[in-house]
Amino acid sequence: MRITKEKPVELLSKYGLYFVLLLLIVVSAILSPLFFSYSNIANLLTYNSFTGLLSLGMTFVILTGGIDLSVGSMVGFSSILYATMLHGAIFTFMPDNIFIYTGSPQLTPLFPQGINIVVVFLICSVFGFISGSISYKFRIHSFIVTLCFMIFIRGLAVSYTHGQPLFGMPEYINFIAYGTFLSIPMPAIIWLTASVFSIFLLRYTRFGRGIYAVGGDEEAARLSGIKSAIYRIMPFIFSAFFASLVGIMMSGRMACGDPKIAQGWELDAIAAVVIGGTSLFGGRGTIGGTVVGVLIIGLIINIMNLLEIDAYPQQMVKGVIIIAALALHNLLSGRRYS
């Protein structure tokens, strides 16, 4: 069923996704004069950086045929973990009364400033390692393992402070959420840097080729001497790492740690990855596609907000467009499943 004869169609099949993105940008620009304003583009990029980073980790996981449902919970967990560490503890069990801060709260970090972030990264990565290992070792599909982790980690995060947000963030954390460099928002810079790094990793290293090999056909990869354990577990560590990065950035955006944020974000990330052309069966897909997938969903939401569409029709349009984009893409590339 592969299209080989017709040149323009072949071109479309290769760059179909980028074409859809371009089409969306043109349509948005026509529909709203506000679309190309600096503040709108900056807002669009900032908001989507968070889903963008989550879907980077998710791409690694899905490329090996797995799925990671725990990222949303991990964002909430890392946010509150980081906040409690800034207040000088790794676990504070607060009483059930309200905390009203007047003025800036005094921060008493557990470790010297930068180290706190590293510790958060480490703890979250260990969770990623555990879920990946369980899935690999006991041959339970990661859907089930990470579903359990999703519930467990959210529970852990909420019990940290009895569900209450913990207020107070240092300046530089607020900067990575609200600041700009060369008038590009910081979250967007972090997202794009991480994307470039991921593209490099997948395309030009042995590790990247291993991911594709194991995702495509694990048995064949094993027979050709690839140790599949690394390629099965590492993606979950990446995913958890990116989730904790998002958690810290979100803390800066809210100026507090909040254990209840990012509920359902894992689905947004998965949707973006799938729109980006990555096969849920593994072995096929690119980071570039994922970035475009995030932008497509983000653009649709953005333009509907600018046009003042009510929230409920927005959800309908979002659902229809995701299916339409997928159908279009698969038709163009002559693929049977996604």
Q: Of 61-69, 90-98, 128-136, 199-207, which segment contacts other proteins by CB under 8 A?
A: 90-98
User: Is position 40 an interface residue for other proteins (rule: CB under 8 A)?
Assistant: yes
Place of tokens 């849920």: 280
Cα distance between residue 209 and residue 302, in whole Å = 36
Q: Which two tokens stand for residue 95?
A: 């009483």
User: Binding to other proteins by residue 34, rule CB under 8 A?
Assistant: yes
Binding of residue 162 to other proteins (CB under 8 A):
yes
Q: Which stretch binds other proteins (CB under 8 A): 120-128, 211-219, 284-292, 306-314?
A: 306-314
Contact with other proteins (CB under 8 A) among 4, 7, 39, 219:
39
Residue 32 CB, nearest distance to other proteins (Å)? 6
Tally of CB atoms within 10 A around 287: 26
Q: Which residue reads 């939401």 in tokens?
A: 301
The structure tokens listed for 44 are 């669009």
Q: Which is nearer to other proteins, 219 or 308 (CB)?
A: 308
| Secondary structure, 3-state, 4-39 | CCCHHHHHHHHHHHHHHHHHHHHHHHHHCCCCCCHH
167 counts as binding other proteins under rule CB under 8 A: yes
Which is nearest to 254 in space by CA: 101, 46, 79? 79
User: How many alpha carbons lie under 13 Å from residue 150 in its C-beta half-sphere?
Assistant: 19
Among 229, 309, 335, 338, binds other proteins (CB under 8 A): 309
Residues that bind other proteins (CB under 8 A): 3, 9, 12, 20, 23-24, 27, 31-32, 34, 37, 39-40, 43, 46-47, 50, 96-98, 100-101, 158, 161-165, 167, 174, 177-178, 250, 253-256, 258, 260-264, 302-313, 317, 320-321, 324-325, 327-328, 331-332
